[in-house]
């Protein structure tokens, strides 16, 4: 697909050429989104929402200007601004535009990857626990999931994941940093791992929390695609860019894999508002460092307080932290709800751990006070 051909025109061309029936039903059946913590009145101002790892801060003045510009183009399909956003993303990564695929959030990219790289009979290898979207979508493709437990320090066990790959492996999912643990695998480890995965399998590296990482061992896999063309990287504007409600993410891949992903995309799967705001964000060199400083400083402050209490937690490279509550987390989550604080859901393989997203300093202070009340420090120390 040339860069001049918009996805809408391309999809129209494919549809006209092949006809909808050319797509097997397992590709057309779209699974529902990943379940979130049981619905709370999130829009309600008296709830504190620390459950979905969103950025709690409002859009910048520049972003609001972009939203205003977008409103003037709202009656038109977003073809031109999609092209502009793809070009800006490509430029930011130093890759040709053909290697960028846009998605309705990065969840859409994960879904496209399942549909593209898990034909019947192929399996998916993933860590346990990790972000579930890929595994949930894989149920639609009836693909067997091979789950590899994290290491004792809650990181991807890349040795065991590589050993779990065979000729049946279609997709390997690496969430780096990992949700829900906030841990990373280093760039050198990742590169060595790519060398061990069969080239017939696609390795999908989900970098939703990339921008929060300060650990020098970490490297994005985006720069490794040239050497390992079976690597696909997913990124999102939902986290540090504070655009979760605008639904925009993207995939970076070899030309062949980008084309394979694009074939699974629905027409114009992005929206004019999100694209304009993303363009403003990409053009603002101060945005990412400022948000990173703000949220990481609050995370460091929270972790300092957890240390003072003598609580266990998993050192995090992200805008969320897993805290040991020393007992089943389900009633703890409910107790937070009674205080109108929405925290992360239970992860069955880490059933005594509570995931909390980093909010504003005020929200995080309120969370800590509630934690001290619900789970007194001496109960876990
Ligand atoms: N990947 C990871 C690891 C996530 O934690 C999330 C959201 O929480 C996503 C992807 C999906 O984000 P979005 O679809 O908003 O881009």
Distance (Å) from CA 115 to ligand 1 centroid: 18
Task: Please say if the pLDDT value at position 25 is more than 60.
Answer: no
Distance (Å) from CA 160 to ligand 1 centroid: 25
162 neighbors 197 (Cβ within 8 angstroms): yes
* Ligand 1 atom closest to Cα of residue 248: 16
Q: What is the pLDDT of residues 368-381, one digit of tens each?
A: 999 999 999 876 76
Distance (Å) from CA 297 to ligand 1 centroid: 22
Q: What is the pLDDT of residues 81-102, one digit of tens each?
A: 999 999 999 999 999 999 999 9
* Ligand 1 atom closest to Cα of residue 247: 15
| Residue-level pLDDT at 141 | 86
**In three state form, how does the secondary structure of the chain look?**
CCCCCCHHHHHHHHHHHHCHHHCCHHHHCCCCCCCCCCCCCCCCCCCEEECCCCCCCCCCHHHHHHHHHHHHCCCCCCHHHHHHHHHHHHHHHCCCHHHEEEECCHHHHHHHHHHHHCCCCCEEEEEECCCCHHHHHHHHCCCCEEEEECCCCCCCCHHHHHHCCCCCEEEEEEECCCCCCCCCCCHHHHHHHHHHCCCCCEEEEECCCHHHCCCCCCCCHHHHCCCCCCEEEEEECCCCCCCHHHCCEEEECCHHHHHHHHCCCCCCCCCHHHHHHHHHHHCCCCHHHHHHHHHHHHHHHHHHHHHHHCCCEECCCCCEEEEECCCCHHHHHHHHHHCCEEECCCCHHHCCEEEEECCCHHHHHHHHHHHHHHCCHHHHC
Distance, in Å, from the CA atom of 232 to the CA atom of 212, rounded to the nearest integer, reads: 20
- The answer to pTM > 0.85 is yes
- How far is Cα of residue 10 from the mean position of the Cα atoms in its chain? 27
Task: Please say if the pLDDT value at position 317 is more than 70.
Answer: yes
Q: If pLDDT is split at 50, 70 and 90, which confidence band does 44 have?
A: low
| Residue-level pLDDT at 381 | 63
With pLDDT > 70 as the criterion, what percentage of the chain qualifies? Answer: 88
| Residue-level pLDDT at 339 | 98
Q: Whose CA is nearest to atom 5 of ligand 1?
A: 179
Tokens (6 digits) for 227: 């050497």
Q: Which residues line ligand 1 (CB under 6 A)?
A: 52-53, 105-107, 131, 175, 179, 206, 208, 236, 238, 244, 249
Tokens (6 digits) for 316: 């995090």
- pLDDT (mean) for 254-271: 97
Most ligand 1 atoms within 8 A of CB, residue of 36, 131, 242, 319 to mutate: 131
Distance (Å) from CA 381 to ligand 1 centroid: 33
């Amino acid at each position: 697909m040339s860069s001049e051909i918009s996805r809408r025109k391309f999809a129209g061309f494919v549809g006209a050429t092949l006809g909808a029936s050319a797509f097997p039903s397992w590709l057309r059946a779209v699974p529902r989104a990943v379940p979130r913590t049981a619905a709370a009145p999130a829009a309600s101002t008296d709830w504190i929402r620390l459950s979905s790892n969103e950025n709690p801060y409002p859009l910048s003045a520049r972003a609001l200007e972009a939203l205003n510009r977008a409103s003037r183009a709202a009656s038109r399909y977003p073809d031109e601004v999609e092209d502009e956003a793809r070009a800006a993303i490509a430029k930011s990564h130093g890759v040709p535009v053909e290697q960028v695929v846009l998605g309705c959030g990065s969840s859409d990219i994960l879904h496209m990857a399942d549909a593209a790289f898990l034909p019947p009979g192929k399996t998916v290898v993933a860590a346990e626990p990790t972000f579930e979207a890929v595994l949930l979508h894989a149920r639609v493709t009836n693909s067997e999931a091979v789950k590899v437990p994290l290491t004792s320090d809650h990181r991807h066990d890349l040795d065991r994941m590589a050993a779990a790959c065979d000729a049946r492996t279609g997709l390997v999912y690496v969430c780096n940093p990992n949700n829900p643990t906030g841990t990373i695998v280093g760039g050198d480890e990742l590169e060595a791992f790519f060398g061990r995965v069969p080239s017939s399998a696609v390795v999908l590296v989900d970098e939703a929390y990339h921008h929060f990482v300060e650990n020098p061992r970490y490297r994005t896999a985006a720069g490794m695609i040239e050497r390992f063309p079976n690597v696909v990287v997913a990124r999102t504007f939902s986290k540090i860019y504070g655009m979760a409600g605008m639904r925009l993410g993207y995939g970076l891949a070899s030309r062949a894999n980008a084309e394979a992903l694009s074939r699974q995309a629905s027409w114009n799967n992005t929206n004019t508002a999100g694209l304009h705001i993303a363009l403003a964000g990409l053009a603002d060199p101060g945005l990412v460092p400022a948000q990173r400083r703000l949220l990481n400083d609050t995370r460091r402050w929270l972790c300092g307080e957890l240390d003072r209490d003598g609580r266990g937690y998993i050192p995090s490279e992200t805008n969320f932290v897993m805290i040991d509550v020393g007992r089943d987390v389900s009633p703890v989550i409910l107790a937070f709800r009674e205080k109108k604080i929405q925290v992360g859901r239970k992860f069955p393989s880490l059933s005594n751990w509570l995931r909390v997203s980093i909010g504003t300093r005020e929200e995080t202070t309120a969370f800590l006070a509630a934690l001290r009340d619900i789970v007194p420090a001496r109960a876990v120390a």
